[in-house]
């Protein structure tokens, strides 16, 4: 199995909207009526590569992350005696690394979704029964991919 295919499947299955159940968000995937399994895999890999290999260095969340940690590094190496050396912790909080990571991921997922849309795919939400059936297949398995393809071609 290709790493790119696993990446796009992970991205597609990680997407979620409003919760169907109180503790479990719905599972979303992408489909295209009549697409062959081989074409489905090819398109998945191609679109996954776009998001996976995107150069995020010029995206604003990456720039904020880098600027923030350059400041943290400087403050850790040259602490101010007046602040007791705690400025670097405040700088980390201001940088919000988890938020920047989520924003970058959203950009990458957006690229993958744009690619899939451009190839004629549409997003759909699995029903509760489909989610239960999907849970029977190990992640990354050929059987799981074939099951998703079956749903995708409706």
Question: Cβ-count burial of 54 within 10 angstroms (0-12 exposed, 13-18 middle, 19+ buried)?
Answer: middle
Q: Which pLDDT belongs to residue 92?
A: 67
Helix/strand/coil for 1: coil
Distance of CA 122 to the CA centre of its chain: 17
Domain residue ranges of the chain, discontinuous segments joined by +:
3-152
Output DSSP code: residue 29: E
How many Å apart are CA 31 and CA 94, to the nearest integer? 40
Structure tokens at 127: 């029903």
Question: pLDDT class for 8, splitting at 50, 70, 90?
Answer: very low
Could you tell me if 34 and 43 are in contact, meaning their C-beta atoms sit under 8 angstroms apart? no
How confident is the model over 72-128, as pLDDT tens digits? 777 777 766 665 656 666 666 777 777 888 888 899 999 999 999 999 999 999 999
Within 8 A by CB and 6+ apart from 4, the residues are 44, 45, 46, 48, 49, 52
- The alpha-carbon radius of gyration of the chain (Å, integer) is 20
pTM for this prediction: 0.68
Structure tokens at 136: 């029977």
């Amino acid at each position: 199995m290709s790493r790119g295919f696993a990446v796009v499947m992970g991205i597609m299955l990680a997407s979620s909207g409003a919760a169907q159940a109180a503790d479990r968000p719905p599972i979303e995937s992408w489909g295209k009526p009549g697409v062959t399994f081989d074409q489905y895999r090819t398109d998945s890999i191609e679109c996954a590569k776009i998001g996976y290999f995107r150069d995020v260095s010029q995206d604003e969340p990456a720039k904020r992350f880098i600027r923030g940690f350059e400041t943290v590094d400087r403050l850790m190496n040259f602490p101010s005696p007046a602040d007791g050396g705690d400025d670097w912790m405040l700088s980390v909080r201001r940088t919000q690394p988890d938020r920047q990571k989520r924003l970058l991921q959203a950009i990458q997922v957006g690229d993958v979704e744009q690619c899939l849309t451009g190839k004629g795919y549409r997003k759909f939400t699995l029903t509760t029964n489909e989610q239960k059936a999907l849970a029977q297949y190990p992640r990354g398995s050929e059987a799981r991919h074939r099951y998703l393809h079956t749903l995708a071609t409706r």
